[in-house]
Every structure is written in structure tokens, then in C-alpha cells.
Structure 1
Amino acid sequence: MDQNNKLLRRTAVGRCRHFAALSALAGTVLLAACSTPMDARNDAAFQSYGYAMDRPVVRPTRSISSFSDSLMCMDHMLREAQLAPTLITSKQIQDFSSRVPVAAKDMVITALSQMSRLSNAFRYVDYEVDIARQDTVQNLTTILLNNNQMQLQRPALYISGAIAFVDQNVVNNRFDVATSAARLDTAYSQNRNATVIGLEMHLGDFRTRTLIPGLDSANEVIIGGAGQGVDVAGRIGNYGVKFNVGRDYAQGAGGAMRTLIDLATIELVGKWARVPYWQCLTLDQTHPDFQRQMRDWYDDSGPAAQARLIQSSLVRHGYLPAGSDLLASNDPNLRSALARFQADNGMVVSGVLDFNTYERSLRNFVGLAPDGTLARVGWSGGGMMQATSAMAASTGTPAAGTIDLQIENPLPAGERPAFEEGEQVFLSATVSRASHLYCYFADASGGVMRLLPNSITPNSLVSANLAVRIPDWMTPNPAFIMDAGKPGTEAVGCFASETDPLSKLPAPLQGPALKSLDGYKSLADVNAGFASGLGPEGYVRSEIKWTVKPKRAAPAAAASTATQPR
């Protein structure tokens, strides 16, 4: 017995000495490691992955709201109303709750800009008086203003408003349950909540600094969140295992605020311009579940059906020729068509078939069913593919889209456009897709000259759905001014193509702008030149005419019967 105890003591002492030696060695190594700086060069291979890991893994997408299509609708409505360009500015949209940290003023500017792409209805006066918010451009502006080297135009209107309230967790539901046993514990939890955000905006007269009665907007939106969690814990002997699984979602305030601001801007502008703005607020795309329903259809359809539907839509809009069957996503023709479609519809251009392209290309094939739910229109059985292909084949949709050429001078409804000698004429041209645009003027005496492009605006490529002013009356020094000439008929014709046609045109058409073209007496001659260089299907054209009348004699001055105020 004593021998066994001695053996155990010797073994224990040996283990203690061995442990002490290992501890000393570990301490020595640790001390040496801490006393010597680490060499960053040893981590070069590891750090080289930082360039790739720092990049986002999801493609950027254009920021849109439920009323993005309503803004485009308002743009068309304001253009039909022939609204003159109006200078506008806005105050800071304050958030006194400090719970919605968003750039609300910039969202207002974006909404006004999207309502002015075609109509040129608003131009925002960007001037900041708050010293804390002034930047380099503001400082330069102040210097030039003080030196009388620039003039700041006074806006006619201004927008005022604030985030009126943020009521957090006005509805909150929570459920928890747990069980416990000798060797197993379980728990389940669930919670839901809703927060209400209120926004109030008003439109004011800048000259008098008064808010215009009735031009107000007060709307609220709900954002919510929810979560579920499961906990499981078990014991086997002296060991334990625990698992926790959960899922949550939270609707951000940024998207909610953009929706509120878009809605408020539409209401204020619609009431001020006295147009039926409610027609733009009743679009099917404003349905709260529109994008969610589109996402469900996108996920359920699968890659093959997604490609087939999007391609049929591209055929319908003329981005692909009729009868195209390019189901391979890496087909260069399909990628090019997708890129052009994305650019023309204000999307981030990627040339990739993704959900955003799917939603934008098929949104016109969605409607409200009688029960108020969203329903697909003409998607079943490949009918949409056949119908759109047949439509493209029958109409011969040209590759360059269409040109919308309009007179911007206020004219009485239903009357043929007519101008007096010397009266200025203002036009605008809008292409349905990004194109190279060339515009020509034909006078009453048989002279033709090119207006666009010219030495001031030499680039011929213009974006889709963006009005090009002819001449650019918003520029202090336009390249030309278009005055009605001698009595007779004058006209302007515009030609658009996917590629720059200048090098393919006859030599006289390649000459400088704003000079008479030798040998060309009418727009028909110009059209013949484009047809010879590009072929009949290589371009689209649009033409608009007006009558020039002799200038009326000034009427004799009549005696004034008004009295001056004392």
C-alpha cells in the first residue's frame, strides 16, 4: 500500500514538473511573440482578398416607390397642359422626432425632376442659406453674386413641410412559450409591431412668402417588423448542446419616406397646376403589393419562363426582331437588347435578365381583378409571345423607336399652329429610346439647314423620354433662335437612329449646322438622303409644320379710362 502511494506521489510530481515546463515554454514563446512586432508582409496573400470581399454581392438597382409610375404619368399630364417652366425651391424637410434620418429634401428634388423630363415643368433653384450646409458650389455662388458676376433667378414657388410624427410600436404583439424536462428544454417566441410615420407638405408663393390655401398634403404610412425564434437545449450526461434559430424582417423608413414624398409632391403639383392628378394615383402599379406579387411570379416561373416572357416583351417594343428565340442568357444580341431597354427605362444598366428588368418589362401586362387582387393579363399558354411577335411583325416596329415632336408655344386647342412674322417658335423632340437625333429646319422659301447637333451641342446621342428643347430656351446662350420667317409654311423634321448616321449620309448633309444645305429644298430631300445612307428601316423620322402669317399692324393707342391709384 505504501509503495503504491509513493508511486502515485512520484507520478503526480512528475506530471506537475512536466506541466510547469510546458507552461514555462509557452510563456517564453508568448513573451517572444509579444516582444517582436508582427510582419504585415506575411499577411499579404490574405489581405489581397480584401479587394474582392469589399465589393457588394448584389447588383445596384434604381430606387423606386409605389408612385414612380405616377410621377411619369404626371410628366405627360403636365406636358399636355402646356405648363410653362416654373422655378421652384424647398425648405429642409425637418424630422423633429429624429427617428427618420433620410434626405427628404433631395427626395423632393428627385420627384420634381422626374415630373419634368418631358414637360420641363419645373427647374429647382439650388441655393442654401444655412452656413452649416453650404458646400464649394455654394461658396463660389456667393462670391460671384457679391461681385455681380452672376444672377440668381427668383423662384416662383417653394415647398415647405416636415415629418409630423413617428408613432413607434402603435401595435405590438408578442408570444412566448417554453418547455423544460430533465434532459430537454425548448422555447418558441414570436413578435410583430407596426410604426406610423406622418408627413405634411405645403406649397407657398415665394414672392409673398405665404402658403397657398388648399395646396397641402398630409399622409401617413405604416412600416412594420416581425420575428420568430426557436431555442432547443439538450443534455447528454455531463455535456450540453444548444441551438437557436430565428428569422426577422424590418421595413425601413427610407422606402416609406420616398413613397410619402412622391405622393405629396404629386398632390401639391396636381392641385397647383389644376390637372386631374388623381388619374395618375389610380394606376395598378400603385397597388401596395404590386412588386411583391411580381416577385412571387418571378420566383415561381423559373429561368426559362422568365426569359421567354421578357424576350417577348422586348420583341413587342422593338428591341429584338420578330421571331427571336434567344433563350441563352449569354447571347450577345439578348444582352445588348436588355442593356438598351434598361437604359431607356431609367434602370441600372447590366445587360442581365434579373427581377428588376422582369418587373419593368411586364408591368403593363398586370391589372386589377374584380376582387381587387393583381392578375396577369395574357401570360398563359405562350399567348403573349405569339401576340407580341405578331404585333411587331404587322406594325414593322423600327429599331430606333419613335420621335414625339411638339410645338411648345401656347396655342388654342384645336387650332392649326400659326405664327406671325418674327414671332419666336419653340419646339421639343422626345425619342422613345436612346438614339442619335438630327433635326432640320425648312423655311417657306425652300431653304434647309441643320439645327441639331450644332457647335454648342455637338453630341447627337440623346436619352430616352427626355425632352430636347429646340431651341434650348432654358440656356442663357442658346446656339440659335428660331423666328418665324416669310409668310408661308415652315417645318422642322427630326431623324433618329441607333448609331450615329453622319458618316453614312451624303456629303452635303455632313456639312456644318445652321447653314443652308446646297441642293436640298425640302425635308423630303433630307429624308431621301437618310434613306440612301441608312436604308428605309435604319431610322425613324417625325415632322411638324406651321403657317407663318404677315405681321399685323399695331393698333392705334386707345384713350385710357383707368385712374391711377392715389
Structure 2
Amino acid sequence: MPSIAGRLARLAAALGACLLAAACATSGQTPSAGPLASVPPTSSFGPALRCMDTLLLDHGVRDLSVAIEELADPSQRKAQTGARDVLVAAVSDMTQRSRAIRLIVADAAGSQAAASGATAGAPYAVTPQYALRGTLRTLDGGTIGLDLALLSRHDMSVVPGAATRNAALLRDGRVEFVEFGQPLAVPAAGLAQAQRALAELAAIELFGRFAKVPYWRCIGIGADNPAVGAQTQDWYDAMAARPTELVAYFQQQLRMRQAYDGPIDGTVGNVFKEAVVRTRSALGLSPEPKLSLDLFKAYLGADLAGLQARLRATVPAAATATAVPASPLTLQVASSAEGRRLARGEAVQLSIRPSRDAHVYCYLQDEKRQLTRFFPNRFRRDSRVAPATGLQLPGSMRFELTMNPRGVPETVTCFATERDVLAELPASVNGSDFQPLPPKATLEQVRQAFVKASGGALALDSVELRSR
């Protein structure tokens, strides 16, 4: 019987049959003869994929669920399942530590199976937020191309800025590309290896653009490249056109650097302004509460570990003095059942309330004793909960929590910490939202991980769901 992940409400219709048109993709360039920069040959772009994994982790990218169909090839009679598998492998290699992206494989008929780290034998349950569609182009003269785009499953529209068009030329035992106007090359013994390299580069570019991380670093291209400058300008302008989006971006990033611990709500307050001033100073910019293009560029180009260390050294004395509250943090978790037994299949609502502003994380131990993190999640990524409003789960979020049909008791346990520690938890107790943790994971292991990450400043509460 499925866990909470197996009982998520279906959020959208099955994938349509149309394929990505070339007009949806961004402009690409076909390589030509000329001096070529060398990229390490291990697994084609292996080091670059590991670099991307680090960027996704450092920038707090997580809980992205993407359905991927077979890639179309107009020159072939049937879709290219093998090319899709190579793309799946590339994304898997790119998210080994960050667990940022979960791919769901979809066939032409719309049936889906878990992939890229899904639990073997688990039923498909989580309707992905995005669909990944693409066209593989095999041309004459050793040239191959790959067009990719991310589509919102809500209305199947292309996500702005999340489309790529890459081309490669196979010749003389290597495959050649042009990225940001700069030639690149990796060794390739044949067409299959060339397709693998093309898929890896396309995955780096597509998800780098989507997540707004400096992926050009991973393929050896500097921030002084004019095309990189144009890409950065486009990202900034798109966010600046929606000021709340720009503010929320920096709120999340400054929280990752432990310079800010307020809400991620796109609203400018005094605490956020002070964090911006400190961050600008740490980056060598003018100390003012201004979310400017130069701040965005400096942040993307920064050594984030070094930046965080400099920010930690400039914590205001007043903040240090009030860092340890007088009373311990407490947490209350209650269910809509209010102590009564639930009918099998009955939906339940949870009410979570910390004693003061805190970061909350909730897990379900299902009828198979498997653990699943279901908050924070793709519907609400901000873990911060205020005592005045509390948190309702599922509330308006698009999933359901119901009593399992077998009537076996289940347990919901929530943890509260003074600061956001999710990124500091080991993958064995963090995982992806709505996806079961490894079978041997226990609530005690999860608790110990939270104790270690929070330095002991932890509150927890549980509620048991019982059937009639």
C-alpha cells in the first residue's frame, strides 16, 4: 500500500503528444574549425556534472520533479529511448549530493515509472511539476543536435529561459561544441559517445539556466565572457521586472549563507536590509540596501564558503547577544481527528505551531514503517513558520494525507529548529519531498541528524493516526 507519496492527488493531465519545436529553443551554434578549449575527458563532462551538483547544493536548489519523455528524432522512424536514457544518467550524475532533481520517465502513452534514484518497486505517485521534452537531430557530416525545454505541467507552457539548443560535430576522434561563443571539445570514439557528451552539456546548460546558477564555471568559461554577461543581465532583468521575485531570490540565498533568517516572502524589512548591507560589504561593494545588478554578478562569482565566513565574522553584536532565547523552543502538532480514530481513506489535516519563529520539517512513517519528508516541499519551499499563523498541512497545498486502506497506524513527526538546517542534513535523512527515505532509515536516525545539524536547539512533536 503506498505511503503518503502514493496518495498524492494527481495535479495535472498526462503529457501531451506534441514535441518541442525548434522555435521554443534558444539559439545554438554549429561548431566550425578553430582553436578549441580542452574539457577533461573523464565521462565526457564528468567533472562538470560534479561541479553542477555542488552549485545546486550551494544555491539551495531542491525538490524539482521532472517528467521526461522519449526524445524525438525527425530523421528516425521511432523515438530515441537510448538518447533519453543518456540524458537521465547525466541528470542523475549531476544531482548525486544535492538531490535537487528527480526525473520521472514517461513513455509515449503517458505511463510513468520512477527513475533517477526512485525506490525500486515504488508506485508512481507524485505528478511532476515540469515536463522535459526534446528533439535529437542527426544530420549529415557528423553533426548532431539536441533541443531541450522545460514545460510547466500546469499549462504545458515553456518555462521562461529554460530552453536550449545545442549542436556538436564529431570528427577526428573528438566531439566539438560552441558554448557562450567559445569552442569546446572532448574525446569521442563514435556517435554514441558523442551523443552522451551532447546530453551532458545540454543538461548542464538547461538546469543551470533554470536554477540561475553560474554553470559556465563548470565548463571552464569565465565570468568576463560577453555572452555570460548577457546571460546574467537577462536573469537579473527578468527578476527585477517582478520585484518580489528578486527580493525572494536574495532572501533565500542570504538564508543559505546564514546572513538572514526572516521569511522568504518577497517583502523588504529591516532585517533583510541589514543582511543586504552586510553582504554587499563582504563582496567589496558599497554598503547600502540595494539589490543591484552588480550585487547579483558579485554573488554569482563569489566563493560562497568564503563569503559565508566573512558574513559570520560581521554578525552585529546585538544579534549575537540575543542569539540564545531565554525559553526553550517548543512545538505542537495536532490532527483534525482530535484523538478520534479515522475511517480508512479519510483525509486528515495537521496543525503545526512552534512557540516562536522556527523552521519546521515534517515526516510521515507510513504503514510499511517507511519515512517520507512531506514538508517543506515543492508547494512551499520556505520552512519558516510563525507562531501567530502556524502551519496547516496539507492546507491549500496540492497533496492529500489520508488514512491508509489497511488501517495500520501511521505516525507524523515534525521537528523545529532555530535556523534552516535542511541543507546540512545527510542525504539518508533528507531525500526528496514525497519520496521515501532508504528502507533502513528510522525516526531516531532522523532525530539525531537534526540534533547534530541544529547544535541541540531542537523541538519535536508527533501525532499518531489510527484507524477505526
- The interval holding the TM-score normalised by the smaller chain is 0.3 to 0.5
Between structure 1 and structure 2, the one with the greater Rg is 1
Q: Give the number of the structure whose residues are more often strand, by fraction.
A: 1
Which fold has the larger relative contact order, with Cα–Cα distance below 8 Å and residues 6 or more apart in sequence? Answer: 2
* TM-score, length-scaled by structure 1: 0.32
